[in-house]
Structure 1
């Protein structure tokens, strides 16, 4: 079992734990908006680490970002595998073409 799948299981298990004893439970109890806010904060920290810090900081902040993304996906009933499948669907397409296709579907 890979690291992402193990982490998903841990997040799923801890989501319903006592918020006084688990960070995952505490953030999960605050709901999707708060998880999303935290994910956004982590994304900013990744960018800052990339611009002004060393590789070790970038790796650490990226790990935090992925962790919080897994929390958000779990809260919405999704798995990281769903994201990977979307990336596979896009494989081999120009980003510009893929974006245009999405916009066409939205209309």
Structure 2
């Protein structure tokens, strides 16, 4: 175990720590929990995927998917994209968020398996913004 002092902020929000919200100050509205988490969840999932790839625990779905090879990961992305498109086309708003979540997760695994960093994707997306 190492104890270190950071040179700057360590949280993606720019705060000195990720633990800056006091529990007794969290707003008691559903909007806080549903809408204000933003892309931070992507960072969390990305970190977990990286950890699974590093440790490759035998009970991990992510590690097992990576073990099965890039072709299998790509196949899962294709499968989830199809399920997402079908849910959207059918107007199935109950299952569509779940399918989109699965698609995003498997896309992140594909990125990690292909050694593509999120910043590369954010840079591409920034070029898509019409000014």
TM-score, structure 1 as length reference:
0.78
Gaps of 5+ in 2: 1-11, 13-39
Gaps of 5+ in 1: 94-107
Following the alignment from structure 1 to structure 2, what is the Cα–Cα distance between the partners of residues 53 and 29?
35
Q: How much is the aligned-residue C-alpha RMSD, in angstroms?
A: 1.5
Following the alignment from structure 1 to structure 2, what is the Cα–Cα distance between the partners of residues 80 and 49?
26
Following the alignment from structure 1 to structure 2, what is the Cα–Cα distance between the partners of residues 39 and 67?
9
Aligned to 2:47: 9
Q: Any idea what SS the aligned residue of 2:94 has?
A: helix
Note the C-alpha offset of 1:77: 1.2
Bigger share in helix:
1
Aligned to 2:73: 35
Note the C-alpha offset of 1:53: 4.7
Tell me how many residue pairs correspond in the alignment: 92
Which is greater in Rg? Answer: 2
Higher RCO structure, 1 or 2 (CA under 8 Å, sep 6+): 1
Following the alignment from structure 2 to structure 1, what is the Cα–Cα distance between the partners of residues 125 and 84?
21
Aligned to 2:57: 18
TM-score, structure 2 as length reference:
0.65
Note the C-alpha offset of 1:52: 1.8
CA shift digits 1:6-31 (9 cap, x unpaired): 10000111124233x00001000011
Following the alignment from structure 1 to structure 2, what is the Cα–Cα distance between the partners of residues 53 and 80?
30
